[in-house]
């Protein structure tokens, strides 16, 4: 073990010199980098609206509970690529299915499902979707989304990483994935998210 560090350095140098790279740069990588640098400088506008201007986080009387079908036409229809651009990764999208299945109490998300949404009474295109934490049954997060029929304009969640604007947390990704993507799919998924546990 005395020579482990130097042997590891030599092995890595040989691999880096003689092996081809595992992945190559794509044309859109530079665009993504520029977009990340721009978003890094922005403030989360939704958090400013919720916290500072209207205090909507603590004022539960300003939210009405509706079925998601009442607002489904007001949200943009998104592709998987659109969702990937929103999340800047795949982890959140992989978690989105399990959160949506748990929230709707079914694995068939293409059928008629009952999923409640809280709509703001003073800002009608501001919604939040109560989502139970995957780690604690006593904790419920409130991913909040500001949207038009053309685009998702912003988001905020009260989880640990939910205030970021560069990418989003799994709770936000789940809500957007369900409302803007999955509800418009016609084919039922063959393997629900929890099936792998039973194998």
- Per residue in 137-162, pLDDT tens? 788 888 888 888 898 888 888 888 77
pTM of this prediction? 0.71
For the chain, the structural domain boundaries read 36-108+120-189
Alpha helix (H) residue ranges in 55-168: 80-87, 91-104
Q: What is the token pair recorded at 17?
A: 């010199």
CB neighbours of residue 31 within 10 Å: 11
Q: What is the token pair recorded at 5?
A: 């560090």
**pLDDT surpassing 50 at residue 198:** no
Task: Tell how strand 131-132 and strand 140-141 pair up.
Answer: antiparallel
Alpha-carbon distance of 127 to 37, in angstroms, equals 28
Alpha helix (H) residue ranges in 68-111: 80-87, 91-104
Nearest to 146 by CA among 115, 174, 119, 182: 119
């Amino acid at each position: 073990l005395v020579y482990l560090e130097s042997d590891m350095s030599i092995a890595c140098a040989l691999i880096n010199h003689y092996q081809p790279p595992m992945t190559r740069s794509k044309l859109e990588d530079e665009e993504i980098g520029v977009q990340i640098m721009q978003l890094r400088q922005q403030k989360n506008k939704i958090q400013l609206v919720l916290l500072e201007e209207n205090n909507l986080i603590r004022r539960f009387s300003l939210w009405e509970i509706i079925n998601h079908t009442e607002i489904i036409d007001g949200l943009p229809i998104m592709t998987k690529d659109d969702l990937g651009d929103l999340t800047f990764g795949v982890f959140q999208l992989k978690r989105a299915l399990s959160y949506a299945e748990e929230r709707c109490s079914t694995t068939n998300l293409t059928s008629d499902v009952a999923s409640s949404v809280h709509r703001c009474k003073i800002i009608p295109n501001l919604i939040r979707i109560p989502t139970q934490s995957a780690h604690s049954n006593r904790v419920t997060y409130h991913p909040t989304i500001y949207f038009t029929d053309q685009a998702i304009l912003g988001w905020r969640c009260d989880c640990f990483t939910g205030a970021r604007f560069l990418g989003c947390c799994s709770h936000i990704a789940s809500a957007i994935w369900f409302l803007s993507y999955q509800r418009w799919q016609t084919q039922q998924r063959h393997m629900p998210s929890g099936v792998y546990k039973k194998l």
